[in-house]
Amino acid sequence: MRIARLRGPGSRNLVHRCAGWLLPLLLLLAVVSPLQAQPPESSSPGAPADLQASDHPGDNGRAIDLRWTLSPDDRPELKPRRVKGYRLEREPVGEPSAGAETGQVFELPYGVSQFVDRQCQPGQPYLYRLRAVGPAGESAAITLAGPVTPQRQWFDSTRWGFAVILLAICGAVIWFTERAKRGKSLHVREIAALRAMQEAVGRATEMGRPCLFVPGIEDMNEIATVAGVAILSHVAETAADYQAEIVVPTTRSLVMTAAQEAVWGAYLKADRSDDYRPDRIYYVSDEQFAYVAHVTGYMVREKPAACFYTGVFYAESLIFAETGNSVGAIQIAGTSEATQLPFFVAGCDYTLMGEELFAASAYLTREPQQLGSLKGQDAGKVLAVGLLLAGCLLATAVQVWPGWMAPANALQWLTGRLLGGG
Amino acid sequence: MLRNTIPWLIAACAGSVIIAAYFVPSAQGWQDTIGQWFEVLAAFAFVLGGVNLAMQNLQKISSREPGWGYAAVTLASFLVTLGVGLFKVGVPADASGSRWGGSYQAEGSAFWWLYEYAYNPTTATIFALLAFYVASAAFRAFRWKNTEASLLLATAFIVLLGRTYAGAVLTSGVPDEYSAFTFPGLTTLIMGVVNTAGQRAIMIGIALGVAATSLKVLLGINRSYLGSGDG
């Protein structure tokens, strides 16, 4: 019988031969099998390795960069995950300086192999300890080989490109200003809105109605407000000349003070100091719509013949422009808020577009020094156009010749290094 | 001379430090200090503003100027709000049983009530006026007067339709490969390319204007905001 023969002495030899092959095969499988390589789930994960730390470049000494190699168990193919995250502990070395916290702990997610600690004290050495954290416990901790100290750098190297551009523009402004001082004549194109200011004040004088000047709803720390107050001084001078009344409700007390000074200076310049009325330049409210309610109420009651809006405006721009339009005022507006310009264009007779608001002071005074600054701005525009063209050409080249690395590298340098820091 | 020079020097120093702090990390502490000084100044300015507001309105009431009733309402509102905030009227008691420990803005306080039921509704009312003003401004802006206005009208027509369901429904028959010619597709093109290009050009101009004006302030070329009267 077959079975009996297999169980005979010959079959025993066959079994021994097979066992001689199978045993090493099973051992080999045991070594390479991922199932066998995976430790039981009840054990804690393997420790991360190679923890390194260095001072964060180009900062004020408050940050340290940390890098490490992930735990061998921090792998996405392991389900469920054996590493849920990392625990990074920081301790100051030696006597902690003022403000240096002890026992700082950062909980980081899995798969993260770098971290920037931005809560350091400049000059304080720190030691870090890192461990992987899993559902079954924590790994052994690895510690930094030696303490690392965050240092203050004197220059933020990530912003060098922006610094170069700023220096170029400021240099151009100063150079053209100096040229203008030496008597070099400069041409400035006509700006209809600024030419119309005198006409608007004249109209208000003829009609016997006041001129309303709204210097925006932001404080003096906004350059657009400063530019608006500069325009106010010229409007006030014209109003003083024509003996027209000028009213300036403000939404910030500091703007009120600056506006009072500007109007007082304008009345002095026009030799009409007796006509100056400080109570016409007053504070209303810091609240946006409370201010809007007052100004629109004033417009409806007093019906000013000329309304000027210069500075920073938000949602109130259209409310002002439409109310002014409904009372038949001639309206001139200018703002640095690009999103509000369409509303002023729709509602006002004249609008200062973009940089025209900042050019107004130079245009109105015709002072050589101020005109020189306009030429400097033009040099900045030339630079901006050059950079835009270069960027467009490089981006097109990257698309047309994807294998050519030179334009891709140049584009990366332009957008990432030169312009990225600003 | 000193009246203009000292404020200009302060402005120039503060401005220079803020610019330097952008590039020099170790100067960032100075920038914070200047920011704190500005906050202190602004706090004093609040008092200045409050006094000015009270004086203006008292003057109107005492001289019975036209509309003095509005001044009376303004003054009364100002004083009531100031009073309930300062004296913490209706502030719930804290753990120690004292209402002085709680915040004046705490829910249930008189200040909170004024904010929720007087200030917020009036603010929302003024803001809501914008809907009517948008309609009236659009009516005037989109009239077929000349070539530019006609272009504006056509663009607005496409964008308005493209932003509504009607636009999608009206061009729903256009094949997918020509989806750029539907109202939503044209709207995306106008807003993403034409409008963005125009906006960015204006923003570059504004940024350069801000830089030049800041420089004029720092160098003292423009001191009109100080009342020098010399531009």
Instruction: Express each pLDDT in A52-74 by its tens digit.
Output: 999 988 887 889 999 999 999 99
Q: What is the predicted pLDDT for the residue at B231?
A: 42
Q: Do A218 and A123 share a domain, yes or no?
A: no
Q: Is residue B125 part of a domain?
A: yes
Q: How far apart are the first and last CA of chain A?
A: 91
Q: Do B25 and B58 share a domain, yes or no?
A: yes
Q: Do A198 and A271 share a domain, yes or no?
A: yes
Disruptive mutation site among B222, B226, B228 for chain A (greatest number of A CBs within 10 Å):
B222
Q: Do A238 and A346 share a domain, yes or no?
A: yes
Q: Do B99 and B67 share a domain, yes or no?
A: no
Q: Is residue B175 part of a domain?
A: yes
B 146-185 residues with CB below 8 A of A?
none
Split at pLDDT 50, 70, 90, the class of A4 is very low
Task: State the average pLDDT over residues A298-308.
Answer: 95
Question: Does residue A234 sit in helix, strand or coil?
Answer: helix
Disruptive mutation site among B224, B226, B228, B230 for chain A (greatest number of A CBs within 10 Å):
B224
Residue A352 pairs in a beta bridge with A334
Q: Which CATH number fits the domain that encloses residue A348?
A: 3.40.50
pLDDT 10s digits, A132-180? 999 888 999 999 989 999 988 888 887 888 889 889 988 988 888 888 8
Q: Is residue B135 part of a domain?
A: no
Q: Is residue A399 part of a domain?
A: no
pLDDT 10s digits, A192-211? 999 999 999 999 999 999 99
Residue A250 to residue A296: CA distance in whole angstroms: 13
- Residue A355 is which amino acid? E
Q: Do A72 and A206 share a domain, yes or no?
A: no
**pLDDT, tens digit only, all 231 positions of chain B:** 677 788 889 888 998 999 898 888 878 888 889 989 988 888 888 899 999 999 999 999 999 988 899 999 999 999 999 999 999 998 888 877 787 888 888 888 999 999 999 999 999 999 999 999 999 998 888 888 888 889 989 999 999 999 999 999 999 999 989 999 999 999 999 999 999 999 999 999 999 889 888 888 888 887 777 765 444
Q: Do A93 and A226 share a domain, yes or no?
A: no
Q: What is the predicted pLDDT for the residue at A20?
A: 61
Q: Do B70 and B147 share a domain, yes or no?
A: no
Q: Do A224 and A311 share a domain, yes or no?
A: yes
Q: Do B116 and B70 share a domain, yes or no?
A: no
pLDDT 10s digits, A98-131? 766 778 899 999 999 999 999 998 889 999 999 9
Q: How many domains in chain B?
A: 3
Domain boundary among B86, B119, B154: B86
Q: CB contact, 8 Å: B105 with chain A? A: no
Query: In chain A, how long is the greatest CA-to-CA distance?
Result: 136
- Percent of chain A whose predicted confidence (pLDDT) is above 70: 89
**Two tokens at A186?**
């400069």
Q: How near does any CA of chain B get to the CA of A73, in Å?
A: 40
Is the pLDDT assigned to residue A329 strictly greater than 50? yes
Q: Which residues of A259-276 are buried (b: 16+ CB within 10 A; e: fewer)?
A: bbbbbbbbbbbbebeeeb
Domain residue limits at B121: 91-130
Q: Do A203 and A79 share a domain, yes or no?
A: no
Q: Is residue B136 part of a domain?
A: no
Q: Which CATH number fits the domain that encloses residue A111?
A: 2.60.40.10
Chain B hits for A156, Cβ within 8 Å: 22-25
Q: Is residue B59 part of a domain?
A: yes
**Residues A281, A323, A195, CA angle at the centre, nearest 5°?**
65
Q: How many domains in chain A?
A: 2
Q: Do A85 and A199 share a domain, yes or no?
A: no
Task: Look over chain A and give the mean of its residue pLDDT values, rounded to a whole number.
Answer: 87
Q: Tell me the CA distances in angstroms from A121 to A19, A182, A280, B117, one per residue in order.
A: 67, 51, 52, 47
Q: Is residue A206 part of a domain?
A: yes
Q: Do A80 and A228 share a domain, yes or no?
A: no
The arrangement of strands across the sheet holding A49-55 comes to A49-55, A64-69, A114-117
Q: Do B67 and B4 share a domain, yes or no?
A: yes
Q: Do A100 and A217 share a domain, yes or no?
A: no
Q: Do B148 and B231 share a domain, yes or no?
A: yes
Q: What is the predicted pLDDT for the residue at A8?
A: 43
Task: State the average pLDDT over residues A368-387.
Answer: 86
pLDDT 10s digits, A239-270? 999 999 999 999 999 999 999 999 999 999 99
Point out the residue among B24, B127, B208 whose CB comes nearest to the CB of A155: B24
Q: Do B45 and B118 share a domain, yes or no?
A: no
- Residue A18 is which amino acid? C
Q: How near does any CA of chain A get to the CA of B152, in Å?
A: 11
Q: What is the predicted pLDDT for the residue at B105?
A: 87
Q: Is residue A95 part of a domain?
A: yes
Q: Do B49 and B126 share a domain, yes or no?
A: no
Domain boundary among B55, B86, B117: B86
Is the pLDDT assigned to residue A9 strictly greater than 50? no
Q: What is the predicted pLDDT for the residue at B3?
A: 73
Q: What is the predicted pLDDT for the residue at B104?
A: 87
Q: Do B50 and B102 share a domain, yes or no?
A: no
Domain residue limits at A202: 186-366
By C-alpha distance, the chain B residue nearest A340 is B199
Residue A417 to residue A413: CA distance in whole angstroms: 5
Q: What is the predicted pLDDT for the residue at B123?
A: 94
Q: Do B159 and B207 share a domain, yes or no?
A: yes
Q: Do A261 and A325 share a domain, yes or no?
A: yes
